[in-house]
Structure 1
Amino acid sequence: MGSTSDKISGKANEIAGKTKQAVGKATDDREMQAKGAVQEAKGKGQVATGKVKDKLKGAVDRL
């Protein structure tokens, strides 16, 4: 995946994860809350990966 698609997928996972957590909290569903937290963390990782790819590409382009 490219850096932009990593960041887009990451943001989508973050939003979906936060939504799952909110629904889980509202319905007192701890399993859904946990799944939401995992999905949100996955999204944050994807966004970070995209940012690292951008920085690496920028460093390589300057060589």
Structure 2
Amino acid sequence: MSAFSDKVKGNWNQLKGKMKQEYGNLTDDDLTYREGKEDEMIGRLQEKTGKTKEEVKSWINNL
């Protein structure tokens, strides 16, 4: 499991709240995290935020 996956899994509820505060158009469905499905979630976040994959990962890591 990557460091990104570890961070997301360990702090997911807090991260979801912060993400929704910054991007009010994110839904619970957009932020559904399932182990092994990070790419799907990142793709949904890319669509909603207009960020690249690396920008989304960096954004999450910095929350």
Q: Whose relative contact order is higher, 1 or 2, with alpha carbons under 8 Å and at least 6 apart?
A: 1
Q: TM-score, normalised by structure 2?
A: 0.27
The answer to which structure has the higher helix fraction is 1
